[in-house]
Amino acid sequence: MYVPEFTTTKKEITLEDIMAGNNYYGDLMRKNYTKFQTENPDVEIDYHDFAEGLANIGAFEYTSIEDGQVRLERFVDLAALALVILTVPFPPLSLSIGALYGSYEIASAVKGSNVLTGRKLEESERWEDGIFGAMAFIPFGYISKAKWFKNLAKAGQSTRGAEKASGVVLSELDKKLIAKLEKGWRKNIKRRCY
């Protein structure tokens, strides 16, 4: 008896269609499944799960734009920290870099997005940036221990202010000499600046 045979085209071909058929890929998959079962008898896995896992084994790892932004932000944070640590022997430079970084953090917190990457910050990140940015302006330990800061503060004072601050009583001759030196310094500064 003759049975008519019809061929139809499917709109979609699934992984099961490829692996179940009598073709190269199906044969290869069944061969790999049999080999896997003999090498790993303690692993319970059915053919469907094995086929799906093997088909996706070469899938790529996706890095989103946000992941790239976070990576760049971390790099900037670590670079700024390294700069501050490396410039500790030079306190004015260290304080300047810390102040710049603090400004960057505060600007990000106020804006609600990272200034460098434009990534929108979560509320907790905004608080964190604001607090750490403000802390960058507090030079812990430098002001009380650093002689350069005390000298810098005194350098802006006149001789009369320095006399009061130091508690040293100057003679009239010393005062006249210091006044002449001050005048000479001012002239030199004016000549060099203008």
pLDDT digits over 25-37, tens only?
778 888 888 898 9
Average pLDDT (69-86) is 88
**Beta-bridge mates of residue 113:** 120
Tens of pLDDT, residue by residue over 89-142, are 887 888 788 888 889 999 999 999 999 999 999 999 999 998 888 887 765 555
- The per-residue pLDDT for 178 is 66
What global pTM score does this model have? 0.44
d(Cα 143, Cα 150) in Å, to the nearest integer? 8
**Beta-bridge mates of residue 120:** 113
- The per-residue pLDDT for 50 is 83
- The per-residue pLDDT for 118 is 92
Q: What is the domain partition of the chain in residue ranges?
A: 15-55, 65-144, 157-193
User: For a pLDDT cut of 90, what percent of the chain falls above it?
Assistant: 15
CB 52 within 8 A of CB 20: no
Average pLDDT (40-69) is 81
